[in-house]
Amino acid sequence: MTVYYKGFPQSDREEYVNMVNVEELEQRVKKIMPEGAYYYIASGSENEWTWRNNTAAFNHFQIVPRALTDMEDPQLDTEFMGMKLKTPVMISPIACHGIAHTKAEIDTQKGAAMAGALFSSSTYANKSVEDIAAAAPDAPRFFQLYLSKDWKFNRMVFDAIKKAGYKGIFLTVDALVSGYREANIRTKFTYPVPLDFFTRYLNGKGEGQSVAQMYASSAQKIGPEDVKRIKEESGLPVFVKGIESVEDAYKAIGAGADGIYVTNHGGRQVDGGPASIDVLPDIAKAVDHRVPIVFDSGVRRGSHVFKALALGADMVGIGRPYLYGLALGGAQGVEAVIDQLDKELKIDMQLTGCKTIEDVKHAAIRHIQYTADNLPSITDPSRMKPYPKTADNQIKTETSDATSGASEA
Ligand SMILES: Cc1cc2nc3c(=O)[nH]c(=O)nc-3n(C[C@H](O)[C@H](O)[C@H](O)COP(=O)(O)O)c2cc1C
Q: What is 90-117 written as a DSSP string?
A: EE---S-GGGTBTTHHHHHHHHHHHHT-
Q: Are 266 and 276 spatial neighbours (Cβ–Cβ below 8 Å)?
A: no
Residue 278 covered by a domain = yes
Q: Whose CA is nearest to atom 15 of ligand 1?
A: 265
Number of domains in the chain: 1
Residue 390 covered by a domain = no
Average pLDDT, the chain: 93
Q: How far is CA 126 from the centre of its chain?
A: 18
User: For residue range 169-227, what is the model confidence (pLDDT) as tens digits?
Assistant: 999 999 999 999 999 999 999 999 999 988 887 667 778 888 887 788 789 999 999 99
Over residues 96-112, the mean pLDDT reads 98
Considering the candidates 97, 101, 265, 304, report the single residue annotated as catalytic: 265
Please identify, by atom number, the ligand 1 atom nearest to the C-alpha of residue 55.
26
SS3 10: strand
Is the confidence at residue 373, as pLDDT, over 80?
A: no
Torsion of CA 267, 271, 274, 277, to 10 degrees: 10
Residue of 274, 261, 267, 278 whose CA lies nearest to 313: 261
206 lines ligand 1 (CB under 6 A): no
CA distance 251 to 229: 15
pLDDT of residue 273: 97
Q: Whose CA is nearest to atom 19 of ligand 1?
A: 265
Residue 153 covered by a domain = yes
Q: Whose CA is nearest to atom 1 of ligand 1?
A: 41
Burial of 65 (0-12, 13-18, 19+ CB in 10 A): exposed
CA distance 157 to 16: 34
Residue of 124, 119, 148, 149 whose CA lies nearest to 135: 119
276 lines ligand 1 (CB under 6 A): no
298 lines ligand 1 (CB under 6 A): yes
pLDDT of residue 208: 81
pLDDT of residue 225: 98
Q: Whose CA is nearest to atom 13 of ligand 1?
A: 94
Q: Whose CA is nearest to atom 10 of ligand 1?
A: 93
133 lines ligand 1 (CB under 6 A): no
Residue 170 covered by a domain = yes
CA gyration radius for the chain?
22
Residue 111 covered by a domain = yes
Q: In sequence order, what DSSP letters do the residues of 128-186 get, joined into one string?
A: -HHHHHHHSTTS-EEEEE--BS-HHHHHHHHHHHHHTT---EEEE-S-SS----HHHHH
Residue 373 covered by a domain = no
Going from the Cα of 275 to the center of ligand 1, the distance in angstroms, rounded, reads: 15
For residue 335, what are the domain limits?
13-367
Q: Are 187 and 39 spatial neighbours (Cβ–Cβ below 8 Å)?
A: yes
Q: How far is CA 242 from the centre of its chain?
A: 14
266 lines ligand 1 (CB under 6 A): yes
CA distance 331 to 336: 9
Going from the Cα of 241 to the center of ligand 1, the distance in angstroms, rounded, reads: 11
53 lines ligand 1 (CB under 6 A): no
Has 265 been annotated as catalytic? yes
Q: What is the CATH number of the domain that holds 276?
A: 3.20.20.70
pLDDT of residue 407: 46
Q: In the structure, what pLDDT confidence band is assigned to residue 87 with cuts at 50, 70 and 90? A: very high
Residue, of 303 and 373, whose pLDDT is higher: 303
CA distance 284 to 365: 14
Residue of 269, 167, 176 whose CA lies nearest to 215: 176
Q: Are 30 and 41 spatial neighbours (Cβ–Cβ below 8 Å)?
A: no
Question: pLDDT > 90: what percent of the chain?
Answer: 83
Half-sphere exposure of 236 (CA within 13 A, CB side): 26
CA distance 353 to 359: 8
Work out the angle at residue 367's Cα, subtended by the Cα atoms of residues 362 and 372, and round it to the nearest 5 degrees: 125
CA distance 380 to 399: 30
Please identify, by atom number, the ligand 1 atom nearest to the C-alpha of residue 296.
22
Q: How far is CA 259 from the centre of its chain?
A: 17
Residue 404 covered by a domain = no
User: For residue range 321-363, what is the model confidence (pLDDT) as tens digits?
Assistant: 999 999 999 999 999 999 999 999 999 999 999 999 999 999 9
Using CA atoms, how far residue 11 sits from 25, 241, 318, 330, 331, in Å, is 14, 30, 21, 8, 12
SS3 242: strand
Residue 396 covered by a domain = no
Going from the Cα of 400 to the center of ligand 1, the distance in angstroms, rounded, reads: 52
CA distance 88 to 377: 25
Over residues 234-239, the mean pLDDT reads 98
Burial of 239 (0-12, 13-18, 19+ CB in 10 A): buried
Q: How far is CA 5 from the centre of its chain?
A: 26
